[in-house]
């Protein structure tokens, strides 16, 4: 995407401040379900956004094409499309290409063309480079070099749908009730210091990793410069983008477990670290020393997803909200409890996680909600005398 700064960010500011709605739901048994529920849930949070961005991520989306990279691409012009398609044919085996189905709605104004490409790695082109690295390079090249073109989804068996509008409108526009996945995420945007545009809507994705975010990353400049050393180029002028790239770097390239990533992004304060057991102190100190430039400063709540896993995390002093809930095998993460109740009135457990504490839903590991002791059951009038 050329001349992004002139086109989208007339004030030349470094980042967009968001105050948004986020929602995630995952069936940890792997059962796939359609998008109706998440559209209803994110619509309940309507007032947290202002109609300048809405989007969804779906995992388990393309089981019939699970081994291919699925690119979702926006084109603002036919020239961009022609050039991109010839680029993709040069670099990959093109398995399938189709325009993503949309439903015309009066509230969706001037949408770009949105296409889906299933790609197989062509070893004669990618050579010794790891497949994922090669795809990242190609995504970066298209987004920075080819005019009017933006790749916004590049994983396998997953996909992003996003644009300018309220999220429930975007969901209907992309006919999301017709798709199924075991993990859905949604975002409603409230950009406050630059124009909302199709590429700037959440979620942000690179390869298998997707992020939705509510808040403002005041460390954006530091984070971006650090990531540039590893070949990640931020093209969206939106702070959330750095989170997606940082996770890709930490997990895929450096092999850190998710719990450690949480300690990098929302590192405990030094005095907190001093009160931890010795071995844990060593780890936390090392993480702060090595990855100090990836500390996310400022208020944030994020939901991160990749294949088989959904993670909710807030900043260490919880300046943005997050509520978690479970019902059977389903785990919900939301800006507000009401959005969860809107689609699942009866819940097994509802709680507000601590700042900096990751909530991890996984296909591999069963999720356990924290044990909560109810005040009413313990101190009931006329009940058994309590031990203390």
Partner 1 sequence: MTHTSDQVTNRIKDMDAGVLHTRELNALLKNATADGTDKVILHNVCGQRYIGTGISKPVTIEVNGTPGNDLGSFLNGPTIIVHGNAQDGCGNTMNEGEIIVHGHAGDITGLSARGGRIFIREGVGYRAGIHMKEYGDKKPVIVIGGSAQDFFGEYMAGGIMVLLGLNIQKGDKHNTRYVGTGMHGGVIYLRGKIDADQLGKEVGSAELDQDDQRILKELVEQFSAYFDLDAYRIMNHDFTKLFPLYLRPYGRLYAY
| Other residues' Cβ atoms within 10 Å of the Cβ of residue 295 | 17
- The contact mask relative to partner 1 for 14-53 (x = CB under 8 A, - = no) is ------------------------------xx-x------
Indicate which single residue of 175, 298, 341, 362 sits in contact with partner 1 (rule: CB under 8 A).
341
Q: In angstroms, give the least distance from the CB of 301 to partner 1.
A: 11
Q: In angstroms, give the least distance from the CB of 317 to partner 1.
A: 7
Q: How far is CA 179 from CA 60, 120, 207, 295, in A?
A: 10, 23, 20, 36
Closer to partner 1 by Cβ: residue 66 or 354: 354
Q: Say how many Å lie between the first and final Cα of the chain, rounded.
A: 65
Indicate which single residue of 148, 208, 239, 336 sits in contact with partner 1 (rule: CB under 8 A).
336
- Quick check: 327 binds partner 1 (CB under 8 A)? no
- HSE-CB of 354 using CA atoms within 13 angstroms: 6
CA-wise closest residue to 117 among 100, 130, 132: 100
Strand-by-strand arrangement of the 323-327 sheet: 158-163, 54-59, 183-188, 21-27, 330-334, 323-327, 349-351
Distance between CA atoms of residues 112 and 105, nearest Å: 14
CA-wise closest residue to 241 among 45, 3, 4: 4
- Quick check: 387 binds partner 1 (CB under 8 A)? yes
Q: Which residues pair with 33 in a beta bridge?
A: 181
Q: In angstroms, give the least distance from the CB of 362 to partner 1.
A: 25
Q: Quick check: is 20 catalytic?
A: yes
Question: Considering only residues 247-286, where is the footprint of partner 1 by CB under 8 A?
Answer: 271-272, 275
Q: In angstroms, give the least distance from the CB of 296 to partner 1.
A: 18
Sole residue written with tokens 């002139």: 6
Indicate which single residue of 67, 96, 354, 366 sits in contact with partner 1 (rule: CB under 8 A).
354
Closer to partner 1 by Cβ: residue 3 or 376: 376
Residues designated as active site: 20
Residues that bind partner 1 (CB under 8 A): 44-45, 47, 271-272, 275, 317-318, 321, 323, 336-339, 341-342, 350-352, 354-355, 372-376, 378-383, 385-388
């Amino acid at each position: 995407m050329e001349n992004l700064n002139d086109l989208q960010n007339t004030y030349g500011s470094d980042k967009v401040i968001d105050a948004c709605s986020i929602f995630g739901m995952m069936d940890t048994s792997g059962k796939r379900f359609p998008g109706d529920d998440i559209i209803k849930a994110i619509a309940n949070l309507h007032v947290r956004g202002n109609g300048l961005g809405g989007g969804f991520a779906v995992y388990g989306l393309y089981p019939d094409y699970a081994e291919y990279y699925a690119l979702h691409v926006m084109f603002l012009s036919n020239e961009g499309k022609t050039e991109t398609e010839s680029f993709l044919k040069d670099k990959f085996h093109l398995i399938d290409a189709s325009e993503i189905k949309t439903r015309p709605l009066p509230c969706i104004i001037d949408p770009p063309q949105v296409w889906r490409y299933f790609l197989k790695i062509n070893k004669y082109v990618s050579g010794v480079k790891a497949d994922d690295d090669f795809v990242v390079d190609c995504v970066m090249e298209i987004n920075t070099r080819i005019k009017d073109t933006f790749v916004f989804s590049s994983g396998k068996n997953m996909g992003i749908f996003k644009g300018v509008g309220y999220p429930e409108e975007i969901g209907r526009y992309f006919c999301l009730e017709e798709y199924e996945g075991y993990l859905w995420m949604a975002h409603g945007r409230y950009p406050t210091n630059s124009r909302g545009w199709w590429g700037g809507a959440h979620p942000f994705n690179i390869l298998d990793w997707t992020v939705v975010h509510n808040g403002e990353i005041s460390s954006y400049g530091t984070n971006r410069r650090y990531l540039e050393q590893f070949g990640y180029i931020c093209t969206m002028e939106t702070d959330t983008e750095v989170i997606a790239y940082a996770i890709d770097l930490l997990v895929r390239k450096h092999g850190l477990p998710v719990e450690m990533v949480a300690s990098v992004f929302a590192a405990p304060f030094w005095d907190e670290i001093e009160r931890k057991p010795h071995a844990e102190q060593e780890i936390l100190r090392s993480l702060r020393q090595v990855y100090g430039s990836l500390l996310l400063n400022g208020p944030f709540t994020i939901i991160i997803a990749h294949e088989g896993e959904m993670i909710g995390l807030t900043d260490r002093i919880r300046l943005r909200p997050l509520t978690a809930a479970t019902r059977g095998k389903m785990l919900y993460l939301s800006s507000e409890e009401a959005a969860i109740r809107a689609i699942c009135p009866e819940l097994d457990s509802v709680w507000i996680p601590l700042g900096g504490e990751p909530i991890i839903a996984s296909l591999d590991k069963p999720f356990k909600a924290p044990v909560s002791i109810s005040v009413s059951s313990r101190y009931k009038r006329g009940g058994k005398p309590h031990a203390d």
